[in-house]
Amino acid sequence: MSEKRSELVKQLNVEEIRRDFPVLSRKVHGVPLIYLDNAATSQKPMAVIEAMNLFYQRENSNVHRGIHTLSEEATADYEAARKKIARFINAKSWREIIYTRNATESINLVAYSWGLANLHPGDEVLITEMEHHANIVPWQLIAERTGATLRYVPITLQGYLDLDKLNGLLTEKTKMFAFTAMSNVLGTIPPVKMLVEKAHAVGALALVDGAQAVSHMPVDVQAWNCDFLAFSAHKMCGPTGIGALYAKRQLLEEMPPFLSGGDMIRSVWMDHATWNDVPHKFEAGTPAIAEAIGFGAAIDYLQKIGGMEAIHRYEQEIIAAAMTALQEVEGLRMIGPPPEDRGGLISFALDGIHPHDAAAILDQDGIAVRAGHHCAQPSHDRLGIEATDRASFYFYNLPEEIDMLVRSLQRAQAIFHHP
């Protein structure tokens, strides 16, 4: 296995890549940091940090509102990043990309703008039991306000969507089918293209929560033919505070504004206003300019190191090795499907040890994982687990860190199960 691990590291040049991330060289509690909380947020390479610093040092100005040099430079870089995002997910046009604060705001934008305008009593919104709360709670609130009904596709005990139940749930009453492209708890990668096709077959729209998927695997919105895709920069080496919503342009033209104020208008009179062209119609006020530039720099970086296909292959190998190694930990239960059907994360529970206690022991050994329900309580409820620990990997994680994770978990067992 050591030879295979060495070959994996060489293929993506992981040792060299790690030098681009300053935080990976620090120590925690006197030992080297092992960062396995990438599903929550990824670390940032110097290319992203420097791009944002350069904006503040050289061209800090507002966008779309000035004809002076700094404003024109800021606007050019801000809009160039939007075009990079569009190409990254293969959107037809940069006008189909709306800047938001994060994937959560992207979903809320669709729920409040499209949902309030189009849902009525008797209509149904279909989601799944494996959703993050960000793709559950907005639809609960919109259903309450519109009289629509919210329904769920169940998951199996193996962590898959129960597709046998789908046809009975996806009917002519369904107006929106909103689902994740990768579960943040189970790691499950559903058949997105097939789910979109089934939604369209009954006349429903399809929203894909891509918060986990876009940062870890190739995503092509035209191939999927989804109507909406929500994702965040901070999970893909970009800054916090900015995300994106992809939406088909015709839908954006028809939807009312989500927020109102400056820059989203064309003209304002005392008694009414008209709206700016999309996507600016949905971007009220001064935007996160430096963050957008950092978003674009993150995409440049991901493509520079080999692209999303290479990253996805590496993570699948890493997760397969991790799932094999974790079987050595007595009393450890992993949830979700096998490696070939999941992304680069593993949620697990240790018999007799609360996830918070296990995470505290791991932290003492410099290992950062997430503990809790991971903003996905329905998934945990379905599997009969109150909470889990989650180790989530990225392309800068070394296979050797798996061994350290295993040893630390065995140490936790020794502490809590001593004779």
Same domain, 104 and 230: yes
Catalytic residue among 14, 345, 375, 383: 375
Exposure letters 78-112 (e unless 16+ CB within 10 A, then b): beebbebbbebbebeebbbbbbbbbbbbbbbbbbb
Domain end point (choices 270, 286, 304): 304
Same domain, 224 and 277: yes
Residue 81 and residue 295 in contact, taking contact as beta carbons nearer than 8 Å: yes
CATH number of the domain within which 34 lies: 3.90.1150.10
Same domain, 371 and 383: yes
Same domain, 232 and 112: yes
Same domain, 148 and 245: yes
Domain end point (choices 243, 277, 304): 304
Same domain, 327 and 353: yes
CATH number of the domain within which 83 lies: 3.40.640.10
Residue 375 falls in the annotated catalytic set = yes
The parent domain of residue 403 ranges over 2-42+307-416
Same domain, 148 and 29: no
Distance of alpha carbon 103 from alpha carbon 367, whole angstroms: 27
Domain end point (choices 304, 327, 352): 304
Closest CA to 311 of 185, 409, 217: 217
> In total, how many domains does the chain have?
2
From first to last of its 419 residues, the chain has per-residue pLDDT tens of 455 555 667 778 999 999 999 999 999 999 999 999 999 999 999 999 999 999 999 999 999 978 999 999 999 999 999 999 999 999 999 999 999 999 999 999 999 999 999 999 999 999 999 999 999 999 999 999 999 999 999 999 999 999 999 999 999 999 999 999 999 999 999 999 999 999 999 999 999 999 999 999 999 999 999 999 999 999 999 999 999 999 999 999 999 999 999 888 888 899 998 888 999 999 999 999 999 999 999 999 999 999 999 999 999 999 999 999 999 999 999 999 999 999 999 999 999 999 999 999 999 999 999 999 999 999 999 899 999 999 999 999 999 999 999 999 999 999 987 65
Same domain, 316 and 300: no
Same domain, 311 and 185: no
Return left, alpha or beta for 261; rule: phi > 0 is left, psi -120 to 50 is alpha, else beta: left
Same domain, 119 and 158: yes
Same domain, 31 and 83: no
Judge residue 218's burial from the number of C-beta atoms within 10 Å of its C-beta, 0-12 exposed, 13-18 middle, 19 or more buried: middle
pTM of the model: 0.96
Same domain, 159 and 298: yes
Residue 161 and residue 155 in contact, taking contact as beta carbons nearer than 8 Å: yes
